[in-house]
Amino acid sequence: MRHAAVLTLAFLLAACVPPQPAEETAGEAVTVYTGGTIYTGDPAMPQAGAVEVGADGRIQRLIPVSEVDRGDWEVAVDTPTMTVVDLKGGYMFPGFVDSHVHLKGVGQRELTLNLEGTASIGELVTRVEAELADKAPGELLVGRGWIETGWPEARMPSAADLDAVSPGNPVFLVRADGHAMVANSAALAAADILDLTGDPPGGHVERGPDGKATGIVIDYAMMPVYALAGAPTEAEQMAALETGARTYVSRGWTGGHNMSVDPEEAPLMTALDKDGRLPLRLYNAFGENGLRIAEKHDFETDTIRNRAVKLYMDGALGSRGALLIAPYADRPETSGLALLEPEALHNLMMTAKEKKVQLAIHAIGDLANRRILDTFDELDYGPELRWRIEHTQILAPEDISRVGGLGLIASMQPSHAIGDLHFAPARLGMDRLAGAYAWRDLLKTGAVVTGGSDAPVEVGSPLIEFYAAVARKDLTGFSGEGWHPEQALSREEALALFTSAPAFASFTEDDLGTIAPGKLADFTVFDRDLMTVPEAEILDAKAMMTVVGGEIVYRAD
Are the C-beta atoms of 316 and 458 separated by less than 8 Å?
Answer: no
Split into its structural domains, the chain has a count of 3
Of 398, 486, 478, nearest to 439 (Cα)?
486
Query: Quick one: what percent of the chain has pLDDT higher than 90?
Result: 82
CA 118 → CA 114, 127, 145, 175, 223, distances in Å?
9, 9, 8, 11, 25
Buried b (16+ CB within 10 A) or exposed e, 220-255: bbbebbeebeeeeeeeebbbbbbbbbbbbbebbbbb
Same domain, 245 and 213: no
CB under 8 Å, gap of 24 or more: what pairs does 228-235 form? 228/140, 228/170, 228/172, 228/187, 228/190, 228/191, 229/140, 229/142, 234/268
pLDDT at 66: 87
pLDDT at 24: 41
Question: Final residue of a domain: which of 167, 202, 229?
Answer: 229
CA 313 → CA 123, 200, 321, 408, distances in Å?
34, 16, 10, 16
Same domain, 20 and 121: no
Distance CA 186, CA 165 (A): 12
Of 252, 161, 261, nearest to 527 (Cα)?
252
Q: Which has more pLDDT, 116 or 289?
A: 289
Please check the confidence at residue 122 and state whether its pLDDT lies above 80.
Answer: yes
CATH number for the domain that contains residue 387: 3.20.20.140
Q: What is the mean pLDDT of residues 238-258?
A: 98
Q: How many helices (H) and strands (E) does the chain have?
A: 20, 22
Mean pLDDT (the chain) is 91
Distance CA 115, CA 147 (A): 9
pLDDT at 421: 82
Conformational region of residue 355, where left means phi above 0, alpha means psi within -120 to 50, and beta covers everything else: alpha
**SS3 string of 93-134?**
EECEEEEEECHHHHHHHHHCEECCCCCCHHHHHHHHHHHHCC
CATH number for the domain that contains residue 34: 2.30.40
Please check the confidence at residue 27 and state whether its pLDDT lies above 70.
Answer: no
CB under 8 Å, gap of 24 or more: what pairs does 133-138 form? 135/169, 137/168, 137/169, 138/168, 138/169, 138/170
Q: What is the mean pLDDT of residues 511-517?
A: 98
Please check the confidence at residue 15 and state whether its pLDDT lies above 70.
Answer: no
Q: What is the mean pLDDT of residues 486-493?
A: 98
186, part of any domain: yes
Are the C-beta atoms of 73 and 2 separated by less than 8 Å?
Answer: yes
Same domain, 214 and 349: no
Conformational region of residue 372, where left means phi above 0, alpha means psi within -120 to 50, and beta covers everything else: alpha
pLDDT at 4: 37
pLDDT at 70: 47
Per residue in 423-475, pLDDT tens?
999 999 999 999 999 999 999 999 999 999 999 999 999 999 999 999 999 99
Distance CA 436, CA 551 (A): 39
Residue 172 φ/ψ, nearest 5 degrees: -140, 140
Q: What is the mean pLDDT of residues 331-346?
A: 96
96, part of any domain: no
Same domain, 197 and 339: no
Distance CA 526, CA 540 (A): 10
pLDDT at 174: 94
Same domain, 413 and 465: yes
Same domain, 267 and 305: yes
Conformational region of residue 162, where left means phi above 0, alpha means psi within -120 to 50, and beta covers everything else: alpha
Please report, in angstroms and rounded to a whole number, the separation of the first and last CA atoms in the chain: 24
Per residue in 33-57, pLDDT tens?
999 999 999 999 999 999 999 999 9
Query: Quick one: what percent of the chain has pLDDT higher than 70?
Result: 93
pLDDT at 198: 82
Domain that holds residue 547: 233-555
Q: Which has more pLDDT, 266 or 26?
A: 266
Please check the confidence at residue 10 and state whether its pLDDT lies above 90.
Answer: no
Cβ-in-10-Å burial (0-12, 13-18, 19+) of 354 comes to exposed
Instruction: State the maximum Cα–Cα separation within the chain, in Å, rounded to a whole number.
Output: 85
317, part of any domain: yes
pLDDT at 18: 38
Instruction: Please report which confidence band the pLDDT of residue 69 belongs to, taking 50, 70 and 90 as the band edges.
Output: low
pLDDT at 382: 65
pLDDT at 79: 59
Please check the confidence at residue 75 and state whether its pLDDT lies above 80.
Answer: no
Same domain, 303 and 271: yes
Per residue in 525-540, pLDDT tens?
999 999 999 999 999 9
Distance CA 63, CA 246 (A): 31
CATH number for the domain that contains residue 127: 3.10.310.70
Please check the confidence at residue 313 and state whether its pLDDT lies above 80.
Answer: yes
Q: What is the mean pLDDT of residues 263-287?
A: 98
Same domain, 46 and 136: no
Question: Final residue of a domain: which of 89, 109, 126?
Answer: 89
pLDDT at 196: 72
99, part of any domain: no
Q: What is the CA radius of gyration of the chain?
A: 25
Same domain, 72 and 185: no
110, part of any domain: no
Q: What is the dihedral sign for C-alpha 531, 536, 541, 547?
A: positive
Same domain, 490 and 362: yes
126, part of any domain: yes
pLDDT at 530: 98
Q: What is the mean pLDDT of residues 296-325?
A: 97
DSSP string, 327-367: -BTTBTT----BSS-HHHHHHHHHHHHHHT-EEEEEE-SHH
491, part of any domain: yes
Please check the confidence at residue 21 and state whether its pLDDT lies above 70.
Answer: no
Please check the confidence at residue 20 and state whether its pLDDT lies above 50.
Answer: no
Same domain, 343 and 418: yes
Per residue in 378-421, pLDDT tens?
987 767 889 999 999 999 999 999 999 999 999 999 999 998 98
Residue 534 φ/ψ, nearest 5 degrees: -55, 150
Same domain, 371 and 269: yes
184, part of any domain: yes
Question: Final residue of a domain: which of 229, 264, 292?
Answer: 229
Please check the confidence at residue 183 and state whether its pLDDT lies above 70.
Answer: yes
Please check the confidence at residue 9 and state whether its pLDDT lies above 70.
Answer: no
